[in-house]
């Protein structure tokens, strides 16, 4: 049934119809670009509105037509499919924008979940907005929100990193920023890179930092595992190298709260430490940050020396002792010795 709602949209044997109850037939259906979320893996997660929209649009732009076609067939939907993926997105936008200019209705879908979130589609959405076309979200499944809902976070301060860079220097910088973040961080990772990422995170993070691993969400072999940064490599080693991973890393604030530390490292201070760490020994960085913030130098030094900001400590990056300082001001920073 290619010109209307998917199969099952009518009253059957006197039973109440979810289509009627949802009121989809009474909703407006203006021309524009419909950004439609599709199931992550469990087809039962598709929304009534998504099926209604996909059954009525003029065409569907899909990340992989071979993935979308079986989903549409399952629900009796037959529509023209146009491939739009990371390698052709700029070119594929042209005919789609022409359709939108003719006041057609175009749906955008990815292989799974919500389009344009670490998936193709953002280029088309931006171009459609610039062209003055209406862009309508049809919300639904998302691996980001699905993973967050089962992570048990205590804060609403969340940073979404998507897929991290494959370049070594960029990754090192991202890990340093993540380690210093007071709020939680969420990232996606591919199965062939998860082991390397786990080892890098274990080296960069406070060992007790809480990590939740979500894999194969909504599918038969779905797994949600809570672990720590120190145990992260072992945790992923026991998982099949299959399916995309979502990692949720608690912020440093959560670690300090669990340790019942009398003082807290706030987000601005953490950012200062992250900036100082690559340039100075941990003891010097902690001394400067202590003078600027009034926080105990020992707290700041401990934050850095445990690897929380990814500091590269030199041979003289040891904590000051009373003997080192003599009778000097205990909070005064030492002069860094230059290597020759």
Confidence bin at 320 (pLDDT 50/70/90): very low
pLDDT in tens, 212-229: 999 999 999 999 999 999
List Cβ neighbours of 327 (8 Å cut-off, separation of 6 or more).
none
The CATH classification number of 144-175+184-251 equals 3.30.950.10
- Domain extents in the chain: 18-141, 144-175+184-251, 261-325
Give 299 or 277, the one with higher predicted confidence. Answer: 277
b/e per residue, 4-19, with b = 16+ CB within 10 A? ebbeebeeeeeeeeeb
Q: What pLDDT, on the 0 to 100 scale, is given for residue 328?
A: 36
Q: Are domains 18-141 and 144-175+184-251 of this chain identical in fold?
A: no
Is domain 18-141 annotated with CATH 3.40.1010.10? Answer: yes
- Give me the mean pLDDT over the 304-327 stretch: 41
- How much of the chain is in helix, strand and coil states, percent to nearest 5? 40, 15, 45
Give pLDDT tens digits for 40-70.
Answer: 999 999 999 999 999 999 999 999 999 999 9
Query: Structure pTM?
Result: 0.72
The SS3 call for residue 223 is strand
């Amino acid at each position: 049934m290619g010109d209307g709602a998917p199969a099952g949209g009518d009253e059957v044997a006197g039973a109440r119809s979810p289509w009627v109850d949802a009121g989809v037939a009474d909703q407006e259906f203006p021309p524009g670009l419909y950004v439609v979320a599709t199931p992550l893996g469990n087809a039962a997660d598709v929304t009534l509105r998504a099926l209604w929209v996909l059954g009525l649009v003029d065409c569907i732009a899909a990340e992989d037509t071979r993935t979308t076609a079986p989903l549409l067939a399952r629900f009796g939907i037959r529509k023209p499919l146009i491939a739009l993926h990371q390698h052709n997105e700029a070119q594929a936008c042209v005919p789609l924008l022409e359709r939108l200019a003719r006041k057609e209705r175009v749906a955008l879908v990815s292989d799974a979940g919500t389009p344009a979130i670490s998936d193709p589609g953002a280029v088309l959405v931006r171009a459609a907005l610039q062209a003055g076309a209406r862009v309508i979200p049809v919300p639904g499944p998302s691996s980001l929100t699905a993973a967050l809902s089962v992570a048990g976070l205590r804060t609403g301060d969340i940073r979404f990193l998507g897929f991290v860079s494959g370049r070594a220097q960029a990754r090192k910088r991202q890990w340093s920023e993540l380690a210093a973040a007071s709020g939680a961080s969420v990232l996606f990772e591919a199965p062939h890179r998860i082991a390397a990422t786990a080892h890098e995170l274990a080296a960069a993070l406070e060992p007790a930092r809480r990590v939740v691993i979500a894999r194969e969400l909504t599918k038969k072999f779905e797994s949600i595992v809570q672990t720590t940064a120190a145990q992260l490599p072992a945790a992923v080693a026991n998982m099949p190298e299959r399916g995309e991973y979502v990692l949720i890393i608690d912020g440093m604030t959560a670690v300090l709260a669990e340790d019942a530390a009398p003082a807290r490292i706030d987000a601005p201070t953490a950012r200062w430490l992250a900036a100082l760490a690559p340039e100075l020994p941990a003891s010097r960085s902690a001394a400067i940050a202590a003078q600027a913030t009034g926080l105990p130098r020992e707290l700041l030094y401990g934050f850095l020396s445990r690897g929380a900001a990814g500091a590269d400590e030199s041979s003289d990056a040891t904590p000051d002792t009373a003997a080192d300082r003599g009778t000097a001001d205990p909070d005064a920073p030492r002069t860094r010795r230059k290597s020759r």
